[in-house]
Structure 1
Amino acid sequence: MLKGVDIGGTFIKVLWEDGSREKHFIKDIKGNRERFLEKLRDIVLDKNPTGVGIAVAGFTSKTGKVFKSPNIPVLDGVELHELFKDSDVRIVVGNDVSVAAFGEWFFDNRDSEVLLLVAVGTGLGGGLVVGGEVFFGVCGSALEIGHHIIHSGGYPCSCGRHGCWEAYCSSYGLQRIYREYGGETLGDYVIVEKAKSGEAIALKTVEKFKEYLALGLMNMVHIFNPDRIILGGGLIDGMRELLEDIEEKVKELSEDLPSSCLSIRFSDAGEFLGARGALAFIKQHQSDIDS
């Protein structure tokens, strides 16, 4: 049986072909490379899968080497295929949001010609599927859209630059906006709940967050001309009812021609967005081999 594995900074999530799900807490060992990789290997090979798709947050090459994973630095420089070279299990590896985008197309949006997934949680990432094929770029690092600059000299980003889209549209971006408007230091989920209950500062924060989200999405519309934008990720899931007008806001900012082709939807994959994409990725590879 096939399965998808999503390597996150707090959990490794697993989605099996039969719909079974698993969550493995790994935050307590992510500072220890040897223990982390041993745990990862055990999870991937557990129950003898016939093939495994692996989704990794960060700059991951087409050959499966993780060059840089800001939230999981123990993976920096790791060749994931080497970790399983003595196993007969077929392994495919890709950037988490790129393969998640493929999962959105594979399971729910096969009518889309150009699908863009924008996932917002701890950070912001993107994935692009064109004609049913993931666009990875030359090296595998395409669609790091969270690190395109929307404000020169702006907020510091986790990548070390300033003014990145992620610095404004992410968990820490939302927290920063809330503090600047006079709020205390709170978790993103608390701010969202306060907005839902009508707190003025939280509502103002969410509106500013939406301005930055719409601005970045406008840039994506003008660059990629997608027919479908899917919004997902933990923060988006929590804010969903507060973002009902986001398509309208994006179209107001965008040119008429690309707007006329566009619809914006929310992912239904929830926290298994990456694992579902990884499962779709290995299913596609297995299908290509069988044919």
Structure 2
Amino acid sequence: MFPLLPQENCHQLESKEASLRNTLKKLESRLTEKDSLSTQMERDGIEDYQRGLELERNHLAQTDDMKAIILSEGKLAQELQDQKFKAELNAHLQTISQLKHDRFVAVRRAKTLETELRQEHDALEASRQKVAELQAKVSKGFREKEAYKEKEQELHTKIKFLQNKLKMTEAKQCGGEQEAIRLREELSAQMLTTAEKKKVISPRESRLKALNGRQRREINRNTTPGEMKTFMEDHNIKQSRVVNETKIPQSSLSLFTNKAKPLKACHQRALNEWFRKATSACKKMLGRNNMLDH
């Protein structure tokens, strides 16, 4: 190739410069368009982002509202639960207080009852002591009564002895020898003591010897249920009295009088003795009444 001239070289350079300028303009225009497009996209992105942020803020606000509502409802529910718990607690405390009061009252009542029971026990012991003292006095009185009876019997015996002695003396003075002998025998019999008389003969044997055969059979005869029942009805005598005096069981006596069931031998003897004494006492009372009427 041949070397270029300076002028041609200048034209080439100018053409190149022009092409470069055109290319630069195109590039600048493209860059401008691109910048505008990118800016618009960025703006749209920013707006979208802002709208998203706004939506997020609104959502957060709604969430906060819901949270506040939930918290308020939770607080209300908690307050209601606390109130219910407090009411139940107060009820339990009142129940415990009432139970404590009832226990205190029960303990005080128990102490009072214990004191009253102790006082009643002491009073009962004192009554028992008084009863024992009275029983001792009654026993002593019975013994003294028996002693007085014995002394009275002795005095009566002495009086009768002296009377008979006086009669014997008068009979001797009057010359009645037979009367004096009889009185002397009576005095000899009266001089026997009570113990000696018991040794000689018992009262029952003496009574039996003094009775005739019919009277002995009457004493030894067993009392029949009909006789017993009729006697008790006629004289208005209760079975309890017969039971207390004869020591016969109530059931045995009822069966004997109502169904004629035989009694034991010991009970039959006791009933015979009681019936004999009761009929004898009734006869004596009837005789006294007749004498008074007469």
More relative contact order, 1 or 2 (CA 8 Å, 6+ apart): 1
- Decide which structure has greater strand share: 1
Q: TM-score range by the shorter chain?
A: under 0.3
Q: Which has the larger radius of gyration?
A: 2
- Decide which structure has greater helix share: 2
TM-score by length of structure 1 reads: 0.18
TM-score by length of structure 2 reads: 0.18
